[in-house]
Structure 1
Amino acid sequence: MASEETRTAQTRTAMSSARKPSPEPGTATAAGPGRTPPTRAWATRLVVVGIVLSALNLRPAITSLGALLEEVRDGLGMSGGVAGVLTSVPPLCFAVFGVTAPRLARRFGAGAVVCAGMVAITAGLLIRPYTGSTVGFLAASALALMGIAVSNVLMPVIVKRWFPDRVGSMTGLYSMALALGTSLAAAVTVPVTDALGGDWQSGLTVWAGLAAAAVLPWLPLVRERDAAPAQEPPAGTPRERPREAEERPAQAPLRITRSRTAWALAVFFGLQATAAYITMGWMAQIFRDAGVPAGTAGLLLAVTMVMGVPLAFVIPRLATRLPQQGPIALALGVCGLAGYAGLYFAPAAGAWAWALLLGISNCAFPLALTMVGMRARTGPGVAQLSAFAQSTGYLISIPGPLLVGVLYQQSGGWGLPIALMAGLMLPQMAVGFLAGRNRTVEEEAAR
Structure 2
Amino acid sequence: MPGAPPATAHRPVAPAVIFAVVAILLLAVNLRTGVGGLSPLASAIGRDITLSAASLGALGIPAPLGFALAGVVAPSAAHRFGLERTLVGALVAMIAGHLVRAAAPDVGVLLLGSLIVLMGAGFGNILLPSAVKRYAPHRIAALTAAYGTAMSVGAALPPLVAVPIAAGSDWRASLAVWSLVAVAALVPWVVLAVRARRASAPNGADAPRAPDARGAIALARSRTVWGITIGFGLSSVSAYALFALLPEVLRESAGVAAASAGALVALFGILGLPLALTVPGLTSRLRNPTPLLVTATALFTAGWGGLWLAPSFAPVAWVAAIGLGQIAFPMGLTLIGLRSRTDRTAAAVSGFVQTVGYVAAAAVPPVLGVLRDQTGSWSASMGFMTLLTAATATAIPLLRRARYIDDEIAR
3-state secondary structure, aligned to 1:390: helix
Quote the Cα distance in structure 2 between the aligned partners of 1:306 and 1:113.
29
Letter in 1 for 2:239: A
Residue 385 (structure 2) pairs with residue 430 (structure 1): no
Quote the Cα distance in structure 2 between the aligned partners of 1:339 and 1:425.
10
* Equivalent residues in 2 for 1:255-404, closer than 5 Å: 255-294=218-257, 295-404=259-368
Structure 1's unaligned 5+ residue stretches are 1-24, 28-33, 229-238
Quote the Cα distance in structure 2 between the aligned partners of 1:112 and 1:249.
16
Quote the Cα distance in structure 1 between the aligned partners of 2:111 and 2:255.
33
Quote the Cα distance in structure 1 between the aligned partners of 2:43 and 2:65.
22
Q: Could you report, residue by residue, the CA deviation over 1:51-95 in whole angstroms, capped at 9, with x for unpaired residues?
A: 111111112122222232343344356676555423212211211
Specify the alignment match of 2:91 in structure 1: 118
Structure 2's unaligned 5+ residue stretches are 1-8
Compute the displacement of 1:152 (Å). 0.8
Specify the alignment match of 2:184 in structure 1: 213
Compute the displacement of 1:116 (Å). 1.5
Q: Could you report, residue by residue, the CA deviation over 1:362-382 in whole angstroms, capped at 9, with x for unpaired residues?
A: 232212211221222111100
Quote the Cα distance in structure 1 between the aligned partners of 2:210 and 2:326.
35
How many percent identity over aligned positions? 33
3-state secondary structure, aligned to 1:398: helix
Please tell me whether the aligned partners of residues 98 and 149 of structure 1 are also in contact (alpha carbons under 8 angstroms): yes
* Equivalent residues in 2 for 1:10-29, closer than 5 Å: 27=11
Please tell me whether the aligned partners of residues 79 and 210 of structure 2 are also in contact (alpha carbons under 8 angstroms): no
Specify the alignment match of 2:120 in structure 1: 147
Q: 1:334 to 1:224 in 2, by over 3 A?
A: same
Specify the alignment match of 2:404 in structure 1: 440
3-state secondary structure, aligned to 1:223: helix
TM-score of the pair, normalised by structure 2: 0.86
Please tell me whether the aligned partners of residues 36 and 155 of structure 2 are also in contact (alpha carbons under 8 angstroms): yes
Q: Could you report, residue by residue, the CA deviation over 1:75-125 in whole angstroms, capped at 9, with x for unpaired residues?
A: 356676555423212211211132111111122221221121111111222
* Equivalent residues in 2 for 1:157-168, closer than 5 Å: 157-168=130-141
Please tell me whether the aligned partners of residues 226 and 242 of structure 1 are also in contact (alpha carbons under 8 angstroms): no
Stretch of structure 1 that moved more, 350-359 or 109-118? 350-359
Q: Could you report, residue by residue, the CA deviation over 1:239-298 in whole angstroms, capped at 9, with x for unpaired residues?
A: 999944457997995732232322332233222111112223344444444544325444
Compute the displacement of 1:173 (Å). 1.0
Specify the alignment match of 1:232 in structure 2: none
Please tell me whether the aligned partners of residues 94 and 391 of structure 1 are also in contact (alpha carbons under 8 angstroms): yes
Quote the Cα distance in structure 2 between the aligned partners of 1:169 and 1:283.
32
Stretch of structure 1 that moved more, 119-128 or 129-138? 129-138
Compute the displacement of 1:359 (Å). 1.6
* Equivalent residues in 2 for 1:66-145, closer than 5 Å: 66-76=39-49, 81-130=54-103, 132=105, 134-145=107-118
Compute the displacement of 1:135 (Å). 4.2
Please tell me whether the aligned partners of residues 297 and 391 of structure 2 are also in contact (alpha carbons under 8 angstroms): no
Q: 1:95 to 1:240 in 2, by over 3 A?
A: closer
Please tell me whether the aligned partners of residues 173 and 312 of structure 1 are also in contact (alpha carbons under 8 angstroms): yes
Please tell me whether the aligned partners of residues 75 and 351 of structure 2 are also in contact (alpha carbons under 8 angstroms): yes
Q: 1:64 to 1:426 in 2, by over 3 A?
A: closer
Stretch of structure 1 that moved more, 319-328 or 379-388? 319-328
Quote the Cα distance in structure 1 between the aligned partners of 2:305 and 2:209.
51
Letter in 2 for 1:258: R
